[in-house]
Structure 1
Amino acid sequence: MSEELEGKHGVQSLEVGMGILKAMVFGKRSMMLKDIAAAADMPPSKAHRYLVSLIRSGLVEQDPLTSRYNLGPFALNIGLVAIDRLDRIRLGLAAISELRDEINETTALAVWGDNGPVIVRWERPRRPITVNVVTGTTLGVLSSAAGRVFAAWLPNLTRPIVKREVETRRNLPPGVETLADADALLASVRDRGLAAISGNYMFRGVEAAAAPVFNFKNELTMALVIVGVEGSIDMGEQSAVLARLKGAADALSLRLGSTRGSDAAALPSA
């Protein structure tokens, strides 16, 4: 067999092992052997043999008390290295840290996941009372500030989810009853250049704002978010805090090569 043909065939055992790792990642928790086997669509005995090798390589570890399996230290290192090598994420993390220092509010970085924006990191302010944000949380589209940013500038990607939220009445904000209402809400977000929610946020007593960050293709790539206790952030049109949020997002967009400038609110990405 030629090297070219062998390369095209790949290594089946490696692909099976990756299937087990994917099952564990999508499981989002420590898992029992039977659950991993079921998720990977293989007999438990076969899954166990692969798990033994994955444990030896450091990609998986097993809790001796519960017998549950979880991702191991080497898998976590791979994830950290991958994140570190993504310039947009690294720059975004620096941006929310600097913004936190400027405004002394909880800041966060959101990227698009499978079913909505996902918080990848957050920074705690120096305040006695703060709002904690759970890393890895997938937010609603119409009910969260970050979700509205993605829906406003990525309509083709988010339209099915917006439609589903309207049809299922899932955490709809006041005044949104139809798709037309949702479209009007998102148009106002584009007009303002950011999304700000106070008084009717998805969690009682919490308010939030988010601003879009664009890449060198002038496409929305992530959102900078601030979150605070209700009444702690000026949500008005002349708010200095929201101006700093928008300024930080615009500066990051410029750093990523965007040419949309401060008028980036004008048109949504296709």
Structure 2
Amino acid sequence: MEPNESPLFVQALATGLGVLDAFTAERPTMNLKEISEAAGVTKSAAQRFTHTLVTLGLLRKDAASKRYSLSPRTLDTGYRYLQAHVLLERANPYLLDLNRQTGETVNLAERDGHEMVYIGRFPSPHRAVVHMPVGRRLPIFCSSAGRAFLSALPDEQIRHILTGVDRPRFTPHTITDVETLTSIIAKVRETGFAYSIEEFYLSDLAFAVPVYNIRGEAVAAVNLSVSTAYWSFERAVAELVPKLIHTARMISTTPPTFRAMEPFQIGYGKVRDVPYDKP
């Protein structure tokens, strides 16, 4: 039985949330006709839902244009989620420490379906490759955080996820072939870290390491993002990745055993072992 076929499922609530979800960066404001089309409801239903949502303070209506937009109150649920997030609270001091040591952008991401959601972020004080606010979602198949998370899953589950998700080419460098992706993810288990080179954003070089819970299950990934204008892959692996691995280990309740930072061949040349000494 599908979830929406259960007698416990409240369709009206789901539709109301669908109206809120219809507002996006591409559709920041809409009139009733546009809302009905975007949410897949009749215009009269859109009128009832928007009236209710305005009354609850979740939508705002411009008196002159009659157009609707999300209100700041829609942030409340997400804010409470972050406030109550035990892992994020545990991770924040370590993320900040890594950010200060490297001077580069550090994130914490967790999986939601076929995407990785950034729930913690400390941007570089010097430069930012892209604007990535908390709550931003990246595809699991082409992001370093997604590949780090996938590396902790069984091979069959990895393949099931990769074949079941859309894999568009966001840049000329995006890898979409399932076999290649599977091989890349398998390599993460040997090296201890995942990477992505300009696969979602141009000029973005990103690394990530999985974070584990007490049962040894991946629950998130620590991500470090730098600009290809300032960092080569080899230099970043030598100078930044050991610190990133150390940070993920400190956040994890019980880190797994892997041969982190042993010499290995990755297709970009031999990377030597660089131990991490915390200052």
TM-score by length of 2: 0.72
Q: Does the CA-based 8 Å contact 2:216-2:256 persist in structure 1?
A: no
Q: 1:11 to 1:163 in 2, by over 3 A?
A: closer
Bigger drift between 164-173 and 203-212 goes to 164-173
The residue type paired with residue 162 of structure 1 is L
The residue type paired with residue 163 of structure 2 is K
Q: How does 1:71-150 map to 2 (within 5 A)?
A: 71-127=70-126, 129-135=127-133, 136-150=135-149
CA distance in 2, matches of 1:25, 1:207: 31
Q: Does the CA-based 8 Å contact 2:110-2:119 persist in structure 1?
A: yes
Deviation string, structure 1 residues 163-196 (Cα, Å, up to 9, x no partner): 367987776858x785443322211111111113
CA distance in 2, matches of 1:165, 1:42: 27
CA distance in 1, matches of 2:13, 2:90: 33
The residue type paired with residue 204 of structure 2 is V
Equivalent in the alignment of 1:209: 207
CA distance in 1, matches of 2:195, 2:7: 51
Instruction: Give the Å deviation of 1:17.
Output: 4.5
Instruction: Give the Å deviation of 1:113.
Output: 2.7
CA distance in 2, matches of 1:58, 1:264: 52
For 1:263, which of 254, 258, 266 is the aligned residue? Answer: 258
CA distance in 2, matches of 1:195, 1:230: 16
CA distance in 1, matches of 2:255, 2:137: 28
The residue type paired with residue 221 of structure 1 is V
Which segments of 5 or more consecutive residues in structure 1 lack a partner in the other structure? 1-7, 266-270
Q: Does the CA-based 8 Å contact 1:51-1:60 persist in structure 2?
A: yes
Instruction: Give the Å deviation of 1:225.
Output: 0.9
Bigger drift between 223-232 and 29-38 goes to 29-38
Bigger drift between 152-161 and 179-188 goes to 152-161
TM-score by length of 1: 0.74
Q: SS in structure 1 opposite 2:45? A: helix
Name the count of aligned residue pairs.
249
The residue type paired with residue 215 of structure 1 is N
Which segments of 5 or more consecutive residues in structure 2 lack a partner in the other structure? 1-5, 261-279
Q: How does 1:243-254 map to 2 (within 5 A)?
A: 243-254=242-253
Q: Does the CA-based 8 Å contact 2:105-2:121 persist in structure 1?
A: yes
Q: Aligned residues: percent identity? A: 22
Q: 1:143 to 1:47 in 2, by over 3 A?
A: closer
For 1:225, which of 210, 223, 226 is the aligned residue? Answer: 223
CA distance in 2, matches of 1:141, 1:11: 29
Instruction: Give the Å deviation of 1:55.
Output: 1.4
Instruction: Give the Å deviation of 1:75.
Output: 2.8
Instruction: Give the Å deviation of 1:209.
Output: 0.6
Say which structure is richer in helix.
1
Q: Does the CA-based 8 Å contact 1:17-1:50 persist in structure 2?
A: no
Instruction: Give the Å deviation of 1:245.
Output: 0.8
